[in-house]
Amino acid sequence: MGRAGALQGLKVVDLTRVLAGPLCTQILADHGAEVTKVEPPAGDETRRLGPPYTASQQAAYYSALNRGKQSISLDLSTPDGQQVLHGLLAHADVLVENFVPGTLERWGLGYEDVLAARYPRLVLCSISGFGADGPLGGLPGYDAVLQAACGIMSINGSAGDGATKVGIPVVDHLTGYVALSGILMALQARARDGLGQRVEATLYDTAISLLLPHGANWLCSGEVPAPLGSAHPNIVPYDKFRAADGELFIGILNDAQFGRFCCAIGVPGLAADPRFVDNAQRLGHRAALYAAIEAAICTQPAQAWADTLMAVGVPAAAVNSVAAALNHPHTVHRQMLVQRGDYTGIRSPVRLMGTPAVPGAAPPDLDQDRAAILARSWQGQAMENARVAGLAQAPAPGLAIRMQEGNTITQH
């Protein structure tokens, strides 16, 4: 029998919406954590960011980030919603939130003021745009806003196009992994000393950290980086080129690869040309080298060249569409797509061989697991944490729960 998921038994309360937080908690769920997604009455905004929509009428955007979770809707600004949250936190290991900084404190749920003392083993991960303080502290932030503010747009695209957003929400994605890493490190520290702590992940810090090598180049040279299209500021040739039927990306890091590349495309003399003998010379004569390469590869399809070059150890790939990438035989071989009935999603790239991830059920409908979550949140609590909407004692097993107008919990 296989071992349980690496995070089996870990209990996570997920207060996050949109991308970075839900991505983090979905990975935790894939690896065995029990994730309770607490949504506001209107639900996670991504539920409505369509079309396209899935068979269950959820936006595809939402379905990509919330599998393996259970959902309950609570208004955390109300005493009733907070009572239920405290019931969940009584048994939780991790709380993840991405409210505007100060929101939990305004609701009387601040970590330093309340949660740390009440739940000393709890790891709280806060995800925000800019953090709580400083010149931009507390301001709202989305991926593209941070790409603009932190210089990423300025180095993306071509010189004639102006600043260009990266085509995927790269800052959000990486922030999700930053949060995941911080949570796992905090849990390791808790295993040593028994204490939880607050973990912070901000889109701003993540975006600044992405400025590699451009930031290092500027710190060293003082020259402000400019957009280079698909080219690399430090390496040539490391760019896309036009083949007979489409574009081919070639990534060459050293002189030995360059020599093999020149032989493979039928112009071995290029490697001995004084203008191209090493990377520094190639950087200085980029335009001449590009013209020679495109003249040599324009007669064959991009995929044929990619096969030829990869066979001799030169990294290269045809520039594929999203559809071509997801349909690629290697995507199938790597089991990158998760299928659960009508649901299809993309697997987390984190692979553990001894305790492999087992992606969970399709993303939940809003509030679909209310009864199960409420029943679970009351088990084993002290009386003061078991009161919900005026209940004087923990309810008996099997008590039916319903949500009335105004987000009030009552028994019947």
Catalytic amino acids? 232
Helix, strand or coil for residue 401?
A: strand
CA atoms within 13 A on the CB side of 281: 13
Which contacts (CB < 8 Å, 24+ apart) does range 48-54 have? 54/342, 54/343
CA atoms within 13 A on the CB side of 344: 6
Q: CA–CA separation, 346 vs 338, rounded Å?
A: 6
CA atoms within 13 A on the CB side of 203: 32
- What is each CA distance from 265 to 110, 237, 249, 286, 393, in whole angstroms? 63, 14, 14, 18, 79
Number of residues that this document lists for the chain: 412
Number of helices followed by number of strands (H, E) in the chain: 17, 13
> Per-residue DSSP letters for 250-302?
EE--SHHHHHHHHHHTT-GGGGGSGGGSSHHHHHHTHHHHHHHHHHHHTTS-H
Q: CA–CA separation, 399 vs 315, rounded Å?
A: 62
First to last CA, the chain: 43
Residue with tokens 């260009």: 164
Helix, strand or coil for residue 132?
A: coil
Burial level of 70, CB count in 10 A (0-12/13-18/19+)? buried
Residue with tokens 């319903």: 402
Strands (E), 112-195: 123-128
